[in-house]
């Protein structure tokens, strides 16, 4: 095959993903390799799709969200795609920021509990030494 195509193994190596993941994305109709018997060949469009899928995964988009956005990409409606990607990104960013705030609150709470516990341990240790 020409350099425009990659085998499943080449895709796996190039993107540092497993063969199983590529087959999974194919099964979920996110990737559409050209099949010749048991062999799969991925063109530039599939490589671009995988790059977007992996980026979406990094940002926490669900497979359904990624499918919807990729389908817009395939439809040729560039403006609508940009609007949808922007809107989805804004929502995702708000969600990530809220999770960060929640995590910061949880960390602060745990730090306070550990400080309180350490103080109690110190007090108990001093009391035990006093009675010895």
pTM to 2 decimal places: 0.75
Instruction: Say how far apart CA 67 and CA 70 lie, in whole Å.
Output: 5
Q: What is the pLDDT of residue 72?
A: 83
Cα 57 to its chain centre, rounded Å, is 3
User: Among 1.10.1660.10, 3.55.40.20, 3.30.360.10, 3.30.70.2860, what is the CATH number of 1-61?
Assistant: 1.10.1660.10
Find out whether 33 and 72 touch, Cβ atoms under 8 Å: no
Q: What is the pLDDT of residue 69?
A: 87
Instruction: Say how far apart CA 58 and CA 17 lie, in whole Å.
Output: 13
Q: What is the pLDDT of residue 1?
A: 45
Q: What is the pLDDT of residue 74?
A: 76
Give the pLDDT means over successive 10-residue stretches in the chain (132 positions). Answer: 83 97 96 93 95 94 91 81 92 96 98 97 83 64
Domain ranges of the chain: 1-61, 76-132
Q: What is the pLDDT of residue 81?
A: 84
Residue-by-residue DSSP string for 44-107: HHHHHHHHHHHHHHHHT--HHHHHHHHHHHHHT-HHHHHHHHHHHHHHHHHHHHHHHHHHHHHH
CA distances from 109 to 70, 81, 113, 122 (A): 41, 42, 6, 20
């Amino acid at each position: 095959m020409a350099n425009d195509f990659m085998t499943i193994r080449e895709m796996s190596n190039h993107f540092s993903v497993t063969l199983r993941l590529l087959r999974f994305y194919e099964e979920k109709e996110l990737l559409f390799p050209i099949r010749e018997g048991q062999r799969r060949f991925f063109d530039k469009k599939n490589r671009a799709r995988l790059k977007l899928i992996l980026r979406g995964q990094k940002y926490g988009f669900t497979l359904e969200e990624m499918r919807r956005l990729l389908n817009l990409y395939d439809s040729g409606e560039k403006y609508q795609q940009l609007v949808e990607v922007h809107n989805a990104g804004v929502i995702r960013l708000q969600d990530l920021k809220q999770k960060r705030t929640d995590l910061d609150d949880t960390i602060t709470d745990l730090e306070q509990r550990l400080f309180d516990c350490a103080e109690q341990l110190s007090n108990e240790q001093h009391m035990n030494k006093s009675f010895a």
